[in-house]
């Protein structure tokens, strides 16, 4: 009797294993079918599983990366998002040079201290810039050896690193890889992003080796490298302007499984291309990208009553919903009517909805039937 029981047990184990294998095979078959469909439609492969996605509203921590007390300012604001019940975390900018003091040597303590102060369950969107605006010093923008070289350019409003030079891009990619190796798998890291695509240089300060094509070529190197490094986290291609290059950059970001972000929640060439439209300055948009990739934006000081006013806060939310924004970060320092921190919290409480890639396209995000021309706007 015991022998028969043993045999029945073995048969049961075999059956269970067969069922498990069937489930695995079904999953593999489904994945292969999705890839075949993508190839037939000339689309890139579906995104690999496991990338974190916690879309919603965030508070933008404000400081200049060149400030000596940047860490303390970050710590002072790390729990500000708790003041708005619908917010789920914070956005902050981390200076490369604050971590890499010597080539290839990374000291993480200051940033680790900030992460340790993050309230439980809160998420971070981390900006890893190669530009610094509204500052007279490039301190912390890059390692000292780069800051003291011709690869750091004073544009009259701040500083820009010469990422159109392959050697500089190599260093920047190595920095992103180091950051990803340490933090990509953490629960709190929601998105990582780079600086905006706009050249941010008047012709009077542009070096002879600079061109929009040269910068675009290096950004197209950046996207696959960053996407590979951040296997669990969406890396955002930050696209606003770059004469006749934004369409190609958006498609490169998409096919390399990156997200899209912008520096200000307002109309730009990047936003136009993202919704499937083009003009003579943007480069051709290949598709309507809304709901195909995450979309992060910032309700910045420029947008909330500043030079690029898209306020009040209620209007920013309405705009973001039409543009399929998944992550919207807000400053809390505006005093413009309808744009104060109280106004922002009330606007979010009244209408917190942002895009969800899994939920489909709502009425506020209409279909774009085909790329169509738009009126000319400023180019850079």
Residue 356 maps to a domain: no
Residue 364 maps to a domain: no
Verify that 243 and 198 share a domain, yes or no: yes
Verify that 167 and 37 share a domain, yes or no: no
Expressed as residue numbers, the domain containing 154 is 53-350
84 contacts: CB under 8 Å, gap ≥ 6? 57, 59, 344, 345, 348, 349
pLDDT tens track for 273-296: 999 999 999 999 999 999 999 999
Q: Which two tokens stand for residue 369?
A: 């039937």
pLDDT the model gives residue 379: 40
Verify that 8 and 71 share a domain, yes or no: no
Q: Which two tokens stand for residue 248?
A: 């190609």
Q: Which residues of 46-82 are buried (b: 16+ CB within 10 A; e: fewer)?
A: ebeeebbbbbbbbbbbbbbbbeeebbeebbebbebbe
| Domain count of the fold of the chain | 2
Verify that 41 and 59 share a domain, yes or no: no
Domain of residue 199, CATH code: 3.20.20.80
Verify that 35 and 139 share a domain, yes or no: no
Query: Which domain-ending residue is among 46, 67, 83?
Result: 46
Verify that 307 and 190 share a domain, yes or no: yes
pLDDT tens track for 269-278: 999 999 999 9
Question: DSSP assignment, residue 87?
Answer: E
- The CA-atom distances, in angstroms, between 255 and each of 35, 43, 247 are 13, 8, 13
pLDDT tens track for 163-209: 999 999 999 999 999 999 999 999 999 999 999 999 899 889 999 99
Place of tokens 């180019």: 379
Q: How confident is the model at residue 146 (pLDDT cuts 50, 70, 90)?
A: very high
Verify that 69 and 33 share a domain, yes or no: no
Residue 370 maps to a domain: no
| 93 neighbors 133 (Cβ within 8 angstroms) | no
- The CA-atom distances, in angstroms, between 113 and each of 89, 93, 109, 116, 248 are 16, 15, 6, 5, 39
| 294 neighbors 357 (Cβ within 8 angstroms) | yes
Range from 39-48, 129-138, 315-324, 371-380 that averages highest in pLDDT: 315-324
pLDDT at 50 over 80: no
d(CA 102, CA 319): 43
Verify that 194 and 332 share a domain, yes or no: yes
Verify that 153 and 27 share a domain, yes or no: no
Verify that 37 and 70 share a domain, yes or no: no
- The CA-atom distances, in angstroms, between 267 and each of 130, 215, 323, 338, 351 are 23, 22, 10, 20, 21
pLDDT tens track for 78-88: 999 999 999 99
- DSSP H helical segments within the chain, as ranges? 2-40, 70-77, 96-99, 109-116, 144-147, 166-183, 212-229, 246-255, 269-274, 313-322, 341-350
Rounded to the nearest integer, the mean pLDDT of the chain is 88
| 309 neighbors 280 (Cβ within 8 angstroms) | no
Verify that 28 and 119 share a domain, yes or no: no
d(CA 341, CA 108): 32
Residue 355 maps to a domain: no
- DSSP H helical segments within 148-245, as ranges? 166-183, 212-229
228 contacts: CB under 8 Å, gap ≥ 6? none
Verify that 35 and 169 share a domain, yes or no: no
Question: DSSP assignment, residue 326?
Answer: S
79 contacts: CB under 8 Å, gap ≥ 6? 117, 119, 122
């Amino acid at each position: 009797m015991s022998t028969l029981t043993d045999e029945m047990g073995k048969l049961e184990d075999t059956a269970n294993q067969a069922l498990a294998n069937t489930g695995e095979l079904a999953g593999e078959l489904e994945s292969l079918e999705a890839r075949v469909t993508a190839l037939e439609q000339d689309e890139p492969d579906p995104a690999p599983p496991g990338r974190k996605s916690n879309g919603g509203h965030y508070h933008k921590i404000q400081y200049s990366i060149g400030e000596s007390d940047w860490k303390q300012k970050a710590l002072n604001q790390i729990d500000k998002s708790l003041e708005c019940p619908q917010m789920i975390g914070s956005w902050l900018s981390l200076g490369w040079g604050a971590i890499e003091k010597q080539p290839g040597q990374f000291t993480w303590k200051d940033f680790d201290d900030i992460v340790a102060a993050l309230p439980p369950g809160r998420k971070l969107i981390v900006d890893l810039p190669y530009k610094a605006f509204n500052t007279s010093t490039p301190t912390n923008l890059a390692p000292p050896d780069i800051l003291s070289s011709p690869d750091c350019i004073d544009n009259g409003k701040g500083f820009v690193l010469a990422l159109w030079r392959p050697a500089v891009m190599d260093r920047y990619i190595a920095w992103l890889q180091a950051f990803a190796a340490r933090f990509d798998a953490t629960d709190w890291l929601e998105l990582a992003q780079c600086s905006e695509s706009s050249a941010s240089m008047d012709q009077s300060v542009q070096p002879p080796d600079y061109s929009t094509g040269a910068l675009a070529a290096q950004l197209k190197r950046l996207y696959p490298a960053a996407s590979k490094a951040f296997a669990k986290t969406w890396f955002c291609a930050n696209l606003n302007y770059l004469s006749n290059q934004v369409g190609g950059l958006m498609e490169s970001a998409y096919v390399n499984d990156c997200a899209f972000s912008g520096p200000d929640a307002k109309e730009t060439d990047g936003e136009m291309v993202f919704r499937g439209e083009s003009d003579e300055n943007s480069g051709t948009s290949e598709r309507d990208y809304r709901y195909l990739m995450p979309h992060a934006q910032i309700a910045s000081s420029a947008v909330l009553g500043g030079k690029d006013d898209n306020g009040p806060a209620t209007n920013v939310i309405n705009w973001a919903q039409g543009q399929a924004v998944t992550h919207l970060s807000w400053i809390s320092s505006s005093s413009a009517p309808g744009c104060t921190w109280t106004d922002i919290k009330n606007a979010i409480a009244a209408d917190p909805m942002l895009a969800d890639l899994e939920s489909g396209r709502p009425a506020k995000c209409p279909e774009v039937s085909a790329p169509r021309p738009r009126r000319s706007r400023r180019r850079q």
